[in-house]
Amino acid sequence: MKLRLMLWLLGLMLKRAQRRKPGFRDTLAEIRGLDWGIATEDLTIARHYRMSPDRVETGPGLPVDLDLELRFADVDTAVKVLRRPTQRTFLDGMMAGTVRLVGDSGDLQKLQKLLRYI
């Protein structure tokens, strides 16, 4: 339940940043939008985010056409990493095999640029 709430709140924070922060909109326009998602490996909990300079949409599940997916081994790992989403925690999780990146690592850098505004 905690992870579902965190992912839902992340959607609200992204929408708020898109409405209120010009730097977020400018960066989003520069990268021409980003479609990404977060899920557990077994896909019991999954949420996707479609971001464009005009709007941010969010929904449950992981569509197949996403640019980037962050997959976590279990709910506890996801909560631990998402509480403090530093580059080091992602790297440690990837080395340990508890975090998996599906997509281009360049898209992860774009996402990190955007998340600075939240």
For residue 42, the domain's CATH number is 3.30.1050.10
State which residues form the domain around 9: 2-115
Sign, Cα dihedral of 100, 103, 109, 115: negative
Residue 8, pLDDT above cutoff 90: yes
pLDDT in tens, 70-111: 999 999 999 988 888 788 888 888 899 999 999 988 888 888
Q: Which residues contact 70 (CB under 8 A, 6 or more apart)?
A: 36, 37, 38, 39, 99, 100, 101, 102
pLDDT level of residue 37 (50, 70, 90 thresholds): very high
- Bridge partners of 49, per DSSP, are 36, 58
Judge if pTM exceeds 0.85.
yes
Share of the chain above pLDDT 70, in %: 100
* Strand ranges of the sheet holding 34-40, from the earlier edge strand across to the other edge: 56-60, 46-51, 34-40, 68-72, 99-103
pLDDT tens readout for residues 49-60: 999 988 999 999
Number of domains in the chain: 1
